[in-house]
Structures are given as C-alpha cells and as structure tokens.
Structure 1
Amino acid sequence: MSFFSFIKDVGEKILGLASAAEINAADLKKDLDALGLDTKDLTVELDGDNVVLKGTAKDQETLEKAVLEVGNKLGIAGVKTDGVKVASAGEESRFYEVKKGDTLWKIAEECYGKGKGAQYNVIFEANTPMLKHPDKIFPGQKLRIPAL
C-alpha cells in the first residue's frame, strides 16, 4: 500500500466542522481513534488535501479501515501510507468505489459473482465500524472488499 485516491468533494463531514476547509490532522486522528480500531500507534498528518498516515498498524485490516475512515471525509483527496509498518501482515482487500444506485447486495454480486448477493454481510462487516447500517452507503464512498 502506498497511495489511495478519494473523491475530494464527496464524503462525510467531520462532526463539529462547518466546512472541509476546516479539517485538521488532530480532528482526523480524534475521529479515527473514536472508532476503537486500536490506532493509537498511527499518526495523522495533512499534506494539502492528502492525509499522511505514519507509525504502526496492528494488522492489515486495521490499516485498511484507517485509510477508509480518513479518506472518506469531505475535503480529502488521498491517503498516503508509505510511512506505516504493519505488525501482523495479512491479505490486502480490494477497494470498491460506490456508484449511484449501488447497494451492498449489488456490490457483492459484482465482486463475488452472480448469486453471491447474500454475501453483502461480509462487505458490511469488513467496513464496520465505519458503516453503521448496510443501507447507508453513498456514491463516491470507498469500501473494503475482502476475499471470501
């Protein structure tokens, strides 16, 4: 992993901020840590409209979730992870950008194959705690798609 691009004008606002222009690294780190992903050994920096993650992630899943959490914020164009070490390596997930009209069922069918829509729960679980409900996805959002 090294750089992930996101749609800068699409994403969730950080609570308490009036606009994307007000984003700062401390608010992103606070938001990331609030998920309970054990990201205490990751630091968050801003380089223009890109987030730079540094430090150590406990595993591949935690790193991927951290990337998605900070990247799916309004005003963020990319996430750099060159400065992150993964303590417990694992298989990298693929990422999927939600399109208008997508549902987790449709995404599961597209990614896992026809007749595999019921596997949408795998995608939902792979994206919690960032996703609070399977029906709450939006166009432009990026999701983790783990292997079955």
Structure 2
Amino acid sequence: MGLFSFMKNAGDKIFGISKADEEDALEVAVEELKLEKEAAIKLKETIIGLQLEVKDLNIFIDDDIVLVTGLACDQATKEKVVLIVGNSKGIAIVDDQMTVEYKAPEAQFRTVEREDTLGKIAKEFYDDATKYSIIFEANKPMLTEPDKIYPGQLLRIPVLD
C-alpha cells in the first residue's frame, strides 16, 4: 500500500515524551529511542490484543514515521493495522510494507473533519447515509461506537460488493 499521512497531534497518546532542557543531545536521543521502542511494543500489543491476524508483525518508529511489516491475513486486516498505527498521537506517516495472504479490493480512506458523522461520510461515498454501519463495521475494533469519531482520524471506507 505504501505511505499514509496522518495528523501527528491527533489520536491516542502512546509516547509520553518529555524532554528536560538540561539533558544533552545524546541523552535525549537515547531516551527518544527508548520511548519509540516502547511505543512500537505498545502498538504491537494493541494489534495483537484486538485479534488482528498478522504473521511476523514488526513495527519500527523513527520520530513521527512508522514502518510496519508482516503478513496480514486479508486486506481489511492490513488496512486496520495501518489505521491503528497512524491514528496514534505523534504519528505523521505510516510506511505500510505489509503483504496480504488473501488479496481483496483496497478500501478508500477518509479523514474525519469537524462536524462529520458516519452518516454524512456514508452519504458522500455511498449516496446513502443509512449505510453508516458499513463504515462503522469496517473500522471495528478501533471504533467502539458510531458517534465516537474525531477530527483528524483516518477512517477506512470499504468498497461495496
């Protein structure tokens, strides 16, 4: 799939970075590497905890860029992993290098804007606001309720059969 851009300061906070002014550059760099590694582990645990099937999942974080590799069981799983990673606070770009075991049509993606609802987005993509549940289901388990979306969040919009 390639590179995906996200709003770096929107989403779930996973880093907890704090830099003391007196630390020298080396100490800061070491601390940042440690925090990036911890954040990568936390993201991987989140993906596993959501029971998304990705063999040999590997996540590497460098500043605000994340490289994701592994073999996803299907296209939807691959796209959900990208969304989980990218919709995390502090992440601006996801370099998706995952492969897919069972290929299917790629979904479209849509960034949530202020005052958006899933119904409004469904109307935009499917010409039918009542199909909001398709978008909701496509973004589970990241979304737990249809009305809990936020500006800057990237959503998966699946192709209708």
Give the TM-score normalised by the residue count of structure 2: 0.83
How far off its partner does 1:39 sit? 2.6
Instruction: Give the aligned partner of residue 76 of structure 2.
Output: 61
**C-alpha separation in 2, matches of 1:33 and 1:76:** 19
- Larger helix percent: 2
Residue in 1 that maps onto 2:99: 85
**Which residues of 2 match residues 125-140 of structure 1 at below 5 A?**
125-140=137-152
Q: Tell me the equivalent position of 1:72.
A: 87
* In structure 1, distance between residues paired with 2:89 and 2:124: 26
Q: Are residue 26 (structure 1) and residue 41 (structure 2) matched?
A: yes
Q: Which residue of 2 aligns with 1:39?
A: 54
Contact 1:13–1:19 under 8 Å retained in 2 = no
The one-character-per-residue Cα deviations of 1:89-146 (angstroms, maximum 9, x if unpaired) are 1110000000000000001011112xx0000000000000000000100000000001
Q: Which letter does structure 1 place at the counterpart of 2:132?
A: Y
RMSD of Structure 2 on Structure 1 (CA):
1.6
Moved more, 26-35 or 63-72: 26-35
Asked if 1:104 is matched to 2:118, the reply is yes
Q: Secondary structure at the match of 1:41?
A: strand
Partner in structure 2 of residue 121 of structure 1? 133
Partner Cα separation in structure 1 for residue 68 and residue 74 of structure 2: 14
- Unaligned stretches of 5+ in structure 2? 19-31
Q: Residues 102 and 19 of structure 1: is their aligned pair in 2 closer, same or farther, counting only changes over 3 Å?
A: farther
Task: Indicate conservation of the 8 Å contact 1:60/1:89, yes or no.
Answer: yes
- In structure 2, give the amino acid aligned to 1:109: K
Q: Partners in 1 of 2:131 and 2:80 — Cα distance?
A: 19
In the TM superposition, residue 19 of structure 1 has moved relative to its aligned partner by 4.7
State the percentage of identical aligned residues: 48
Q: Distance in 2 between matches of 1:50 and 1:12?
A: 15
For 1:85 and 1:18, how far apart are their aligned partners in 2?
31
- 1:12 counterpart = 2:12: yes
